[in-house]
Structure 1
Amino acid sequence: MSDAIDYLLQARPEAMQPYFSFLKQSGKKLDPKTRALISVISKVHGRTERGFRQYLTRALRVGCSADEVLDALLAAFPMIGLSGLIWATDILLDMDLPEFKPEALGSEPQWHTVGRIDEIDDGVSRLACDNRELFIYRNGDVIKVYDSRCPHQVTNIPQLALSDCTLTCPKHEWQFDISTGECIAKGNRPLTEFEHKIEDGRLLAYW
């Protein structure tokens, strides 16, 4: 939420609170994916980059696929026009999301080989796997596989952001306990954890 909205909520709560109540109530009969896609389109129509990034992240979090987001943008062409479509696509390219890479479009979730389990030491490793970067936490038989992207605005968190078991996103300083994935400061959402298994001496992750 912007500083301006925060200010108006404090200065004129009697005017602003009914508006936000209306927003919360509107679309309650829609499923989460449809509601999220409508919100994405509304941010493209209004050319609100921060909002577009925020609601695009939310759409992916509630289960929208990259293909569904692209279809929604194309279906909204009569409203957003070519310039709006290009504006949104430029932001998508800047966000560099693995889901939107051409080779990933249309693919179903599958198991990916992260590496040999005997080559993954205790502690935290950062590895690349099939166009995605991962943080691997290992403590003996306990293994966690996380997306390296912050759940806030999908910033790709670097290895240098790790101090002991605390991972800090450099963009907005959300902090995470890498041993659990839980957000411990600033934010309210955990790291994205991928299902994993060990098979034939290999660590596999599912996305």
Structure 2
Amino acid sequence: MTTWNFICPLDDIPRLGARVVQRASGGDIAIFRTAADEVFALLDQCPHKGGPLSQGLVHGRRVTCPLHGWNFTLEDGQALAPDHGSCARFEVKVEHGQVLLALN
């Protein structure tokens, strides 16, 4: 069974922006908000050079790493060609205006 953890109200995450959640087990999680108020959660580390994806540009359902311009799909964390690699993805949802993250 999934345990959902309250993170913040949706409005605390700027549209086309992100919020960082620190984990005790290491590896921060970036929660992204699109222009359409969709939320996605990825490990906050580009597999290329470790750049903080939370500081990247959100466009559509993608984020661009601020260090070297790699693009990742927010739905699954996959790099877009010609780049290769992926970021871990986490389950996240919005209920009644509240962002909830599965940290199991």
Give the TM-score, by structure 2 length.
0.60
Counterpart selection for 1:168 from 65, 74, 81: 65
RMSD of Structure 2 on Structure 1 (CA): 3.2
Give, as a single letter, the amino acid of the residue that structure 2 aligns with 1:202: Q
Task: Name the counterpart of 2:90.
Answer: 194
Identity among equivalent pairs (%): 17
Task: Name the counterpart of 1:117.
Answer: 10
Deviation of the 1:129 alpha carbon:
4.0
Q: 1:159 to 1:206 in 2, by over 3 A?
A: closer
Could you tell me which runs of 5 or more consecutive residues in structure 1 were left unpaired when the two chains were aligned.
1-108
Q: Distance in 1 between matches of 2:64 and 2:83?
A: 13
Q: Which has the higher contact order (CA 8 A, sep 6+)?
A: 2
| Secondary structure in structure 2 of the residue aligned to 1:191 | coil
Structure with more helix by fraction:
1
| Secondary structure in structure 2 of the residue aligned to 1:177 | strand
Give the TM-score, by structure 1 length.
0.36
Task: Name the counterpart of 1:127.
Answer: 20
Q: Is the 8 A contact 1:150 1:169 kept in 2?
A: no
Give, as a single letter, the amino acid of the residue that structure 2 aligns with 1:126: R
Task: Name the counterpart of 1:86.
Answer: none
Q: How does 1:82-121 map to 2 (within 5 A)?
A: 110-121=3-14
1:184 aligns with 2:80: yes
Deviation of the 1:195 alpha carbon:
1.0
- Higher Rg: 1
Q: Distance in 2 between matches of 1:185 and 1:129?
A: 29
Q: Is the 8 A contact 1:133 1:148 kept in 2?
A: yes
Counterpart selection for 1:143 from 39, 42, 55: 39
| Secondary structure in structure 2 of the residue aligned to 1:189 | coil
Q: Distance in 1 between matches of 2:58 and 2:91?
A: 23
Structure with more strand by fraction:
2
Which whole-Å deviations, capped at 9, do the CAs of 1:48-90 have from their partners, x for residues lacking one?
Answer: xxxxxxxxxxxxxxxxxxxxxxxxxxxxxxxxxxxxxxxxxxx
Q: How many residues align?
A: 95
Deviation of the 1:115 alpha carbon:
0.9
Q: Is the 8 A contact 1:117 1:201 kept in 2?
A: yes
Q: 1:142 to 1:163 in 2, by over 3 A?
A: closer
